[in-house]
Amino acid sequence: MNVQYPVALSGAKSSTLMWSQEHEVGAQALQQLRNIAALPWVHGVRVMPDVHLGKGATVGSVIAMKQAVSPAAVGVDIGCGMEGVLTSLTAADLPEDLSAIRSRIEAAVPVGFRAHEYPVSIRRLGLDPRAWDRLWGAFTSLHDGVQDREKKAHQQMGSLGGGNHFIEVCLDDEDRVWLMLHSGSRNIGKELAERHMRIARDLPHNADLPDRDLAVFLAGTPQMDAYRRDLGWAQEYASRNRAVMLALVMQAVRESFEHEITFERPISCHHNYVAEETIDGHDLLVTRKGAIRAGSGDLGLIPGSMGTGSYVVRGLGSERSFYSASHGAGRRMSRNEAKRRYTVDDLVAQTAGVESRKDAGVLDEIPAAYKDIESVIAAQSDLVEVVAHLKQIICVKG
């Protein structure tokens, strides 16, 4: 049966439209959405087809609020997002054995809990250092409790992290080679988010919320001002982190070939962030947690899993979705359930043809733990148009 999206969420106290059917969403996630919609500051909620349970706020949700913002609706990986670039390489340029390219990328970009031994030289990568200088110049203005984290934040600039973060080499349907990566604000973003979430939970106006993890800051208060300052800094850190990583990956790929390689202008998009936007004629604070902006003409990246490919998309400017689209395929089961249900042999089978880790350390990232990316893209055909379909041939994970 063909479903006409969006559909309204039953029992929601404010306008809540879904690009998914209720029976496809877990009961806990649905309750989270109803809890969010019941907040008195919420203008409306939009639910993407990759929706799933999150901490406090649901992943795959877009929340428009009046003079308020909830740190949990952003998440702990502030500014997490995607970066992608089309190269001049084609499939015919690639060696049959891709392991050497993967090794070069892994040598250039620390993964998991690792960081660079020394801060990366921005100038040597050919990037304009002024933006990074401004970023570090503002570090002393951040939350008092993170002042001793500056050295670590410097060393983690240009590092991947773990979990669902990745670096990939992909082919599109025309056999052109793309580079793509997914990461965020690393430990410093997490530290800032958790500190502000603790502060918000103790504020009197949050005492009677259905879920204290949904605690909000209110405009015109020192707590809101402090959070917006740190939030903006962490979003910038995440963006700069991806830019450094992409430059390192591009360098590693250049060094893998004897002939010159050129790169198009990168595509970059946050999917855990807050922006001031006009929605339904109102100036609101829009939080996208596991969602990308899809305004008219906006380019975005929607990844699947480490074995199923990704999409480059262009936003159609849907007012009904608050100008948003999904950030990926979205998990259909928890990490623990994936590890219980599947084996390393399953992982090997599901990532056949991809040069990647195939061990117990990434079993929770097995493709079967994610929703079907084709269905997710189909469900939001009124939100984005497909520019390119990418299939990974190399996948680096922490």
Annotated binding-site residues for GMP read 164-168, 271-272, 303-306, 310, 327-330, 397
Task: Reply yes or no on whether 270 is catalytic.
Answer: no
Residues of each annotated binding site for Mn(2+): 77, 165, 182, 271
What is the token pair recorded at 91?
């499939």
Beta bridge partners of 300: 313
Of 96, 93, 101, residue with least CA distance to 259: 93
Cα four-point dihedral sign 397, 300, 383, 57: positive
Active-site residue (options: 52, 196, 270, 327) = 327
User: What is the C-alpha separation between 345 and 348, in angstroms, rounded?
Assistant: 5
- For the annotated catalytic residues, the residue numbers are 327
